[in-house]
């Protein structure tokens, strides 16, 4: 079946090339990896998508935020405040749930109800805004909206507040030398467009059709994995019902039987490779900027 899907992609390429007005031909994909242990695709096991190296990874984001928290705290201490920003949620892994349900254990336990059970989720109180004096020192960081910054050359206890406050000082320190704190917009666009292109590709559609036939044999009627995840029946209950778990378990089995995730990953990788090569010079500068920020973060000393 894999060979047939690759041949389908080659045939589609040939047809598109014959028509100068047609959309760009689908890129050739490498032989899809056979993904039996589906959850491993969501881990750092060497199967990262091409654009991943040009985006700030979850681990890199954690290192940057840890340094930023230390810098802000150190700055605030100079003004007599004991303050640390509220912890931000972890940046999600690029591969988590990218191809929808891929974890057999999760499917058997929670169906399509992803994440921790509702009764295990911790509800955190909304943080109170800092007092006006503290907020003036804290500032609003780099890129604050016009009119939101503190007055020119403000002071607190006779000490000049840095431009943008302590948030601005921390951001300036981390980006010194050309670093960046946010993912590059162009890299994010490639990440999103590659997924959209893969969904429209004939090879992935053929894999979905095989998956759909397999699901039909198991008593489940869905045209694609997207339809199974979006079944409105699953949203009527806070926890997974028996029919939901049955559908989710069948979903996993049919993905494995037809190597849907392996094919999907290979096709998306091909689209991303083409987009990365077309913008490689700029993306390499983006990678250098991320590395500058990481180096600045590593040089940060906790207060």
Q: Decide if 121 is inside a domain.
A: no
Element (H, E) at 138: helix 132-138
Give domain status of residue 173, yes or no.
yes
Residue 1 is predicted with a pLDDT of: 37
Is 179 in contact with 186 (CB distance < 8 Å)? no
**Average pLDDT, integer, range 59-76:** 95
In a domain? residue 78:
yes
Reduce the DSSP state of residue 159 to 3 states and report it: strand
Measured distance CA(49)–CA(266) in Å, rounded: 9
Question: Which structure tokens are listed for 9?
Answer: 């992609």
Number of domains into which the chain is organized? 1
pLDDT 10s digits, 5-46? 333 333 333 333 334 455 678 888 766 766 654 444 544 345
Task: Report pLDDT for 23.
Answer: 62
In a domain, 229, yes or no: yes
Percent of the chain with pLDDT over 70: 77
Six-digit token pair at 69? 């928290």
C-alpha distances in Å from residue 159, one per residue of 152, 153, 235: 13, 10, 55
Residue 153's pLDDT band, with cuts at 50, 70 and 90, is low
Domain range for 153 is: 2-11+37-113+129-298
Residues 6+ apart with CB under 8 A from 283: 54, 184, 186, 187, 276
Sign for the pseudo-dihedral over CA of 103, 105, 108, 109: negative
Q: Is residue 281 part of a domain?
A: yes
Q: Using the predicted structure, report yes or no on whether residue 210 has a pLDDT greater than 70.
A: yes
Ramachandran area for residue 81 (φ above 0: left; ψ -120 to 50: alpha; else beta): beta
Mean predicted confidence (pLDDT) in 145-161: 67
Could you give the C-alpha distances from 169 to 28, 83, 147, 297, in angstroms and in order? Answer: 47, 15, 18, 13
Structure tokens at 72: 């802000």
Assess if residue 49 is contained within a domain.
yes
Domain membership of residue 155 (yes or no) is yes
Q: Residue 187, exposed/middle/buried by CB under 10 A (0-12, 13-18, 19+)? A: buried
Specify if 22 maps to a domain: no
Q: For residues 244 and 150, which has the higher predicted lDDT (pLDDT)?
A: 244
Bridge partners, 155 (sequence order): 160
> pLDDT for 220-238, tens place per residue?
999 999 999 999 999 999 9
Q: For position 227, what pLDDT does the model report? A: 97
Task: Tell me the HSE value of 151 on the side-chain side, using a 13 A CA sphere.
Answer: 4
């Amino acid at each position: 079946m894999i060979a047939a899907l690759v041949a389908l992609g080659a045939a589609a390429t040939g047809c598109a090339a014959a028509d100068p007005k047609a959309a760009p031909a689908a890129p050739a994909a490498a032989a899809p990896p056979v993904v039996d242990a589906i959850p491993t695709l969501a881990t750092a096991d060497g199967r990262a998508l091409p654009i991943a190296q040009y985006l700030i990874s979850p681990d890199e984001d954690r290192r940057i935020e840890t340094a930023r928290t230390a810098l802000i705290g150190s700055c605030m201490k100079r003004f007599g405040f004991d303050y640390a920003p509220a912890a931000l949620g972890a940046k999600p892994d690029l591969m988590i749930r990218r191809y929808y349900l891929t974890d057999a254990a999760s499917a058997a336990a929670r169906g399509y109800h992803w994440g921790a059970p509702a009764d295990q989720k911790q509800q955190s109180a909304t943080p109170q805004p800092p007092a006006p004096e503290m907020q003036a020192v804290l500032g609003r960081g780099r890129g604050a909206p016009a009119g939101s910054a503190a007055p020119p050359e403000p002071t607190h206890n006779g000490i000049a507040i840095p431009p943008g406050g302590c948030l601005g000082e921390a951001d300036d320190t981390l980006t010194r030398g050309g670093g960046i704190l946010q993912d590059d917009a162009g890299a994010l666009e490639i990440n999103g467009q590659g997924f959209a292109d893969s969904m429209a590709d004939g090879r992935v559609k053929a894999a979905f059709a095989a998956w759909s036939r397999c699901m039909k044999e198991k008593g489940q009627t869905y045209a694609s994995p997207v339809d199974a995840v979006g079944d409105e029946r699953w949203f009527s209950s806070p926890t997974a019902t028996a029919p939901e778990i049955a559908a989710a378990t069948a979903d996993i089995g049919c993905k494995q039987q037809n190597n849907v995730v392996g094919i999907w990953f290979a096709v998306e990788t091909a689209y991303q490779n083409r987009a990365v090569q077309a913008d490689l010079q700029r993306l390499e500068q983006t990678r250098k900027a991320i590395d500058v920020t990481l180096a600045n973060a590593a040089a940060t000393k906790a207060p």
